[in-house]
Amino acid sequence: MSSREKYDEQQVVEQLHDPATCRTAFSKVIEHYSSSLYWQIRRMVIDHDDANDVLQNTFLKAWTSIDNFRGDARLSTWLYKIAINESITFINKKKVMAQVSLDDDDSFLVNSLESDRWFDGDQAQAKLQRAIAALPQKQRLVFNMRYYDEMKYEDMSEILGTSVGALKASYHHAIKKIETFFNEHD
């Protein structure tokens, strides 16, 4: 499929439930959502190879359970939910392997950020990633979705199952914590 071809979600969902067209339709889904899902996952797991694995798992899980998707929610919401669950599962497994407590924050993920060949940010950007990684997991998600993806609170609310008010508060707390991190690590 050409990326210039118009993506019609309703048509794609209908095609997904037709055995004759489901594979082609899912290919369109991959084409349309791979980039946004990748960046969401990447900001959570930090490493490119890990993000690639999690993204593949996300699409595999979506594909194998496509029969359960009846179009009650938007496809993007459903995919984001899978991606977030896969990311959190991956991070928790990595914590166990690194002998880090599951209650600790995800700072261990950014330990080798500056030596990562798929990170070309400067010191300030690396510091921002450290500050974000030090946030509680839900605040990280909220911050990344709002700050980098500029996602609407209503959409985030559908994906995360949290009220808009709570998400706004979470984003506000995240910014305050990042500011504090920068002030403390000057």
Partner 1 sequence: MKQEESTILKKLGKDSGFKTPENYFDDFNERMTAMLPDVEITDVNVKPSTWVRVRPYAYLAAMFAGIWCMMKVFNGINGTTSGQMRVNEIAEGIHMEGNADEFMMMGAASDYDVMSYQDSVAQSMDEPLPDVNNP
Which residues would be at the binding site for partner 1 (CB under 8 A)? Answer: 1, 16-19, 22-23, 26-27, 30-31, 34-35, 38-39, 42-43, 46, 48, 55-56, 59-60, 63-64, 66-67, 118-122, 124-126, 128-129, 146-148, 150, 171-172, 175, 178-179, 182
Q: How far is the CB of 119 from partner 1 (least distance, A)?
A: 5
Q: How far is the CB of 103 from partner 1 (least distance, A)?
A: 26
For partner 1, the closer of residues 71 and 101 by Cβ is 71
Cβ atoms within 10 Å, residue 3:
8
Q: How far is the CB of 9 from partner 1 (least distance, A)?
A: 16
For partner 1, the closer of residues 53 and 158 by Cβ is 53
Determine the Cα–Cα distance for residues 122 and 125; give it in Å rounded to an integer. Answer: 5
Q: Which two tokens stand for residue 150?
A: 């500029």
Nearest 5°: CA angle at 20, between 17 and 24? Answer: 80
Q: How far is the CB of 13 from partner 1 (least distance, A)?
A: 10
For partner 1, the closer of residues 22 and 100 by Cβ is 22
For partner 1, the closer of residues 43 and 159 by Cβ is 43
Q: How far is the CB of 67 from partner 1 (least distance, A)?
A: 5
Determine the Cα–Cα distance for residues 47 and 94; give it in Å rounded to an integer. Answer: 12
Report helix, strand or coil for 93: helix
Residues with Cβ within 8 Å of 81's Cβ and at least 6 positions away in sequence, in order, are 159
Residues with Cβ within 8 Å of 173's Cβ and at least 6 positions away in sequence, in order, are 139
